[in-house]
Amino acid sequence: MVTPEELRELIAAYPEWLLVREAGRTFPLLSSEIEIASTDEDRTLIGFVDDGGFHSWRLNRFRFHDGAIELDVAGPFAKKRESIRLVPRESASVLAAAVELARLEKANDAAKLIESSIRSTKIIRVDLNAENGRLGQIIFERDKKRMAALTDVTTSLTSESILTASMMWLEKLASRSKNPISEILIIAESRQAKSLQKLHALLNHRWRSKISIGEISRRKEPPSLVELAARKTSQLWREKTKKLALLRDPPPSQTATELMAMSPEQIDIVYSKQGETLRFMGLPFARVRSLLGREKAWFGVGKSRRTLTGENLNEAAELVSDLKKYRSPTSENPRHEYYRTSPEAWLESILRRDIRKLDANLILSPIYNQFRTSNDKIDLLALRRDGRLVVIELKTQPDREMIFQAADYWRKIELQRRRGILQDANLFEGRQILDKPVLVYLVAPALSFHRDYEFFARALSSEIEIWRFELHENWRADIKVLARREFRDQFSGLTNL
């Protein structure tokens, strides 16, 4: 899959495209005639011209596949939905080469910033990382000492992804027998740099001394590189944070109630400003919205969504029946999309119903949905019976960024805890939150923790208490914790259950 930023790169990489509509109609376009824009609601719009004039569509999803860009778009109010393709008037290999060249140029621009902004520097090498070509890797000399620099040449990677890549590359450079390198500079645009600066503060002293963050300042022309001051964890608590205005979940709508009755043990509701989303063991299959005082609903999984009416309610019941058959630990076909899709949401839905399956001492926040639908998307927020607040992060596949995602959640929740915001919000129905740092539980099947998990866990500040919960591989049938480990102490943190 590609990001909106990469989509712009792909379109700009070649001057001419062929637009192919669903009915097979084609229309030639210049890259300058295709517009990609973002709205305030974090939606992406794509606009283009054809025989009928200029069209603006909401972009639902897209990917670069078999040498073409496949787009799933919708018209105003999602009334009209269509799949279209953009085919370059050149081979895919030429297009890929053009994208690589554009990224390499961005890496060279970063190298020039180093030379122009840091005195006594000399660029030794500029390249793209071999893994996916999304990171520019720069080797340079400063006062006859070799250093490394890394920059995101797609402007689309997460701060966690950039930090983990930097640490892994630095470890490799430090182990070289000839010209080893022990320091790295991460170069980023302003917003990304500020986010990296906060993550950097969560590292232990050893790693903070090896890594520095450089912000690309564009306040004046030409741009310059400004090295951001390294923060301590204590400095993070001076930030401003908004108060929480959390409301209890409203009663389900009539339509949602009817749908839930089809399988009450497996179906739950996630509330948002847009209405209700009904999930079958974590898999969204229906949405209910209130439009001008009237309920309107859609049902279906993935792209196959239809408006729910009195005439096709039986079809919705058939969908729920299929979900019972295939999204089940005893599914007759484990390769079915209902079984394989959104496994982390499946695990989360099990624990949401009974968090004691993970830890008998936990109490889940009843104000669940407001955290789940926030920008941070914290999986679960709970309270131990002794009053310690717990952030729970769930994974079902190896994820190298898991540690730093959890650490960033810890920072945000810990800031709100220290300010008394979480206590004032009455998240746990009158129970007192203890004045001690937030705990982090990282939960995954035993074989699904990334091989570099311990390496990154031990890179964090000792102020962050992270526990690793290893589940039995057949967690869909029964949540069983096989072991839990606390990594601040390498040898005494393992407890078998």
Q: What is the mean pLDDT of the chain?
A: 88
Identify the band that residue 494 occupies on the pLDDT scale cut at 50, 70 and 90.
very low
Query: In the chain, where are the structural domains located?
Result: 4-90, 96-231, 254-332, 343-496
What would be the CATH architecture of the domain defined by 4-90?
Distorted Sandwich (2.70)
Q: What type of residue is 174?
A: A
Amino acid making up residue 230: A
Alpha helices, DSSP H only, in 119-189? 159-174
Write down how long the chain is: 497
The verdict on whether omega for the bond into residue 252 sits within 30 degrees of 0, i.e. cis, is no
Indicate whether 30 pLDDT > 70: yes
Give the three-class secondary structure for 423: helix
More confident residue, 42 or 227: 227
Two structure tokens written together for 338 = 């209902």
Provide the 3-class DSSP secondary structure of residue 10: helix
pLDDT at 358: 95
Q: Which of 339, 367, 345 is nearest to 271 (CA)?
A: 367
Model pLDDT, residue 476: 97
Residue 468 clears pLDDT 50, i.e. is over it: yes
Q: Where residue 162 falls among pLDDT bands split at 50, 70, 90?
A: very high
Predicted confidence band at 67 (pLDDT cuts at 50, 70, 90)? confident
* Domains 4-90 and 96-231 are alike in CATH topology: no
Q: Distance between CA atoms of 68 and 90, rounded to whole angstroms?
A: 10
The pLDDT assigned to 391 comes to: 94
| pTM, full prediction | 0.80
Per-residue burial over 314-323, b = 16 or more CB atoms within 10 Å of its CB, e = otherwise: eebeebbeeb
Cα angle 12, 1, 71 (rounded to 5 degrees) comes to 65
Report the C-alpha dihedral over residues 318, 324, 327, 329, rounded to 10 degrees.
Answer: -160
Span 348-399, pLDDT tens digits:
999 999 999 999 999 988 765 555 544 556 689 999 999 999 999 999 999 9
pLDDT at residue 487 above 80?
Answer: no
Would you say residue 493 has pLDDT above 60?
A: no
pLDDT band at 5 (very low <50, low <70, confident <90, very high): confident
H-type alpha helices, 373-452:
402-418, 421-424
pLDDT score recorded for residue 338: 95
Cα 333–chain centre separation: 29
Quickly state the pLDDT bin for 51 (edges 50, 70, 90). Answer: low
Question: In whole angstroms, what is the distance from residue 438 CA to residue 369 CA?
Answer: 20
Distance CA 463, CA 337 (A): 41
Residue 142 has pLDDT above 60, yes or no: yes
Whether the per-residue pLDDT at 495 is higher than 80: the answer is: no
Q: Which of 220, 213, 235, 262 is nearest to 461 (CA)?
A: 235
pLDDT at 53: 72
Instruction: Compare 298 and 102 and report the one with higher pLDDT.
Output: 298
Over range 211-222, report the average pLDDT. 94
Looking at the domain 96-231, which fold is it?
Answer: Trna Endonuclease; Chain: A, domain 1 (3.40.1350)
